[in-house]
Structure 1
Amino acid sequence: MYVCYGGMQFVAYRGFTQLQHQLPSAVKDRIPNSAESFISGAAAGAVATTATYPLDLLRTRFAAQGTERVYPSLRSAFRTISRDEGARGYFRGLSAAVGSIVPYMGLFFTSYEFFHTHFAALQLLPLSSGDAAAGVMASVLAKTATFPLDLVRKRLQVQGPMRTRYVHTNIPVYAGVWRGLYAIWRKEGLRGWYRGLTVSLIKAAPASAITMYVYERTLHGLMATSKEDNLWECYDAYSDYDDD
């Protein structure tokens, strides 16, 4: 899931960014850099989330299993969901996922570009780059702001006919995203919306740091390789001309 999601996310992000750069100057000049990053990040997150959502749903359901395995294998999970819930079962909670990922990725890339500019010269071990620090700060900010929707997404993913067989056998039934948020607030209070935030940040912050560090280093490496190839092409062309 992460291989597919990460690849689609960064391809879409650069694609939407380049698309905005191709807008007429009268329109492009009116879009602030922060808004450009937010739009590109939000659109990229929506595309990647929708395309890989069935895998995200399966990941959550496998994680919710206890000693009594609901799905003994990935193939069995696909077959059981298709039989008992139909095609719509693979996208249970998608609205919550898109609703959380759009502001999350928008905020993440907007804040990352901001922090990256200020931390560009910062040296951190072991990553030795401000890219990592910017990734951590952006992840903490975006994850905290959108966590309630992410919480509802995971609870909606374990709905369905198999919910009584998971580790938590008393999983409540939610009729939708907003009703789910309201039900959590009534039963658990405001703190209920942020249950598990600390663990989520411990996971997301270093993951974002490594992701952005590897992304920036790989991108710079590819750009350097491309420049070297262009230089060799110019050298070869000059050599041919010199021989003539």
Structure 2
Amino acid sequence: MSTDEAEPPPPSPTTATERYAPTPARLSSRDPPMQDSSWSSLHSSLAVKCASLPNSSVNAACGALAGIASGIVTCPLDVIKTRLQAQGSFRPRSFTRPTRAVYNGLIGTARVIWTQDGVRGMYRGLGPMLLGYIPTWAVYMSVYDLSKDFYYTRMENKWLSRISASITAGACSTLATNPIWVIKTRLMSQVSSRAQEEHRPPWHYKSTFDAFRKMYASEGLSAFYSGLTPALLGLSHVAIQFPLYEYFKMRFTGLEMGQTTSADSDVHWVGILGATILSKICATSATYPHEVLRTRLQTQQRTLPSPSHEEIAFRGGHQGLGHHTRPPGTASSDGMINIPRYRGVLRTCAIILKEEGWRAFYNGMGTNMIRAVPAAVTTMMTYETLRSMHQKLKNEGEEIERQSR
């Protein structure tokens, strides 16, 4: 058989139109022709609209929706991780030994939270988490895609381009959303009134808005940027995760992040799943201690000193034998606030190392890994699926526009 005979005949001029218009063969006895025609018209309009959307807007929308899906799925694990990370930060300075651990591992911490606060405690901080995920992933995905295109034209090394794009996008999203994450961390570390006094934080917030109002009134604007330095140090996390994700996805599927081809009919689920899990495990293992530092700095008050007799309340009480000192950052009997225990990354590292040992830098890492991997899988699967859906609609919209010319 000749080559010409093996090739299929070229499509007729009506083929593209029939792709979007209903035909008698497609009509079901259950669906009136008018409904099928209306759906086809709506689908065609949506396809044309998708074809006109800029990539930056699409990346932002897909990233935001992916972050929301991830937040809903993993909120209870995030609460458990935050409690484990913050444990030990409210211990009195008079204690010469580490405070007895209340939260022990994933199951033990979940049991304590469930006993004290019920299901509401497992989803404490969900509001600011969702508020935070929307701008965080919207900014990150859109800036990452733009930055990658920018660095690709100026750097021959793709690894270096992806690392630079990850750091640029991470810095933009961190600076834009740090206040939201401070509020989220405060709410998640808030314990029940039935908890022991030495484990209670020096605040009580009823809601996200209440937390914002009280923090601004008593601590000022600087409180919303607590932990910003370790958060910026955490850019090393995305600098590892996303270049690795792109590398593994290229090896498994031959496509970069968010990339599809016109021949693709399905998302490469297995390849995306494998790339996400491997990249997240590597990044989390390498950069976890910065999360503990960030949590410790975010879960303490930063109230400025107020006039008082000998400024005893602000200084944290008299020092030496015979004088009982209150936990740093907690309220005194006269309503004053102690000086914060953690001030700066290096000082925080030194205090944690001295009081709790090096293992404290890895508090909650197991739980975080159990939380981080499903969160990353949910995020990337949602993002890649939405991008694939948009690409298909965009291709159809472009075909409709070509046919209408």
The interval holding the TM-score normalised by the smaller chain is: 0.7 to 0.9
Instruction: Show the counterpart of 1:164.
Output: 330
Question: Do residues 43 (structure 1) and 176 (structure 2) align?
Answer: no
Residue type matched to 2:300 in 1?
Q
Instruction: Show the counterpart of 2:159.
Output: 34
* Displacement of 1:154: 0.4
1:110-166 CA distance string (max 9 Å, x none): 111122123338xxxxx943112211111111111111111100000011159437x
The alignment partner of 2:253 has SS state of: coil
Instruction: Show the counterpart of 2:355.
Output: 187
* Displacement of 1:186: 2.7
Residue type matched to 1:146 in 2?
T
* Displacement of 1:55: 0.9
1:170-207 CA distance string (max 9 Å, x none): xx711111221222223333322111100001000011
* Displacement of 1:74: 1.8
* Displacement of 1:77: 1.1
Separation in structure 2 between the aligned mates of residue 110 and residue 182 of structure 1, nearest angstrom: 32
The alignment partner of 2:379 has SS state of: helix
Q: Relative CO higher for 1 or 2, CA cutoff 8 Å, sep ≥ 6?
A: 2
Separation in structure 2 between the aligned mates of residue 15 and residue 90 of structure 1, nearest angstrom: 28
Instruction: Show the counterpart of 1:103.
Output: 236
Separation in structure 2 between the aligned mates of residue 75 and residue 209 of structure 1, nearest angstrom: 30
Instruction: Show the counterpart of 1:201.
Output: 369
Please point out which of 386, 393, 397 is paired with 1:225. Answer: 393
Cα–Cα, structure 1 residues 145 and 226, in superposed 2: closer, same or farther, change >3 Å?
same
Instruction: Show the counterpart of 1:240.
Output: none
Residue type matched to 2:218 in 1?
D
Task: Single out whichever of 206-215 and 172-181 deviates more from structure 2.
Answer: 172-181
Instruction: Show the counterpart of 2:208.
Output: 74
* Displacement of 1:82: 0.9
| TM-score, reference length from structure 2 | 0.51
* Displacement of 1:62: 0.5
Instruction: Show the counterpart of 1:144.
Output: 285
Unaligned 5+ segments in structure 2 are 1-131, 194-202, 255-267, 304-327, 332-339
Two-structure CA RMSD over aligned residues (Å): 2.2
Separation in structure 2 between the aligned mates of residue 200 and residue 28 of structure 1, nearest angstrom: 35
Instruction: Show the counterpart of 1:216.
Output: 384
Please point out which of 78, 81, 88 is paired with 2:222. Answer: 88
* Displacement of 1:86: 0.8
Q: Is the 8 A contact 1:82 1:89 kept in 2?
A: yes
Instruction: Show the counterpart of 2:253.
Output: 120
The alignment partner of 2:239 has SS state of: helix
Separation in structure 2 between the aligned mates of residue 98 and residue 88 of structure 1, nearest angstrom: 16
Instruction: Show the counterpart of 1:8.
Output: 139
1:75-101 CA distance string (max 9 Å, x none): 22111111111111111111111111x
Separation in structure 2 between the aligned mates of residue 174 and residue 213 of structure 1, nearest angstrom: 38
Residue type matched to 1:77 in 2?
A
Separation in structure 2 between the aligned mates of residue 120 and residue 190 of structure 1, nearest angstrom: 40
| TM-score, reference length from structure 1 | 0.83
Residue type matched to 2:174 in 1?
T
Greater share of helix: 1
Separation in structure 2 between the aligned mates of residue 202 and residue 164 of structure 1, nearest angstrom: 32
- Which structure would you say has the larger Rg? 2
When the two structures are aligned, how many residues end up with a matched partner?
Answer: 221
Unaligned 5+ segments in structure 1 are 122-126, 166-171, 238-244
Identity %: 27
Separation in structure 1 between the aligned mates of residue 252 and residue 350 of structure 2, nearest angstrom: 39
Q: Is the 8 A contact 1:4 1:52 kept in 2?
A: yes
* Displacement of 1:108: 0.7
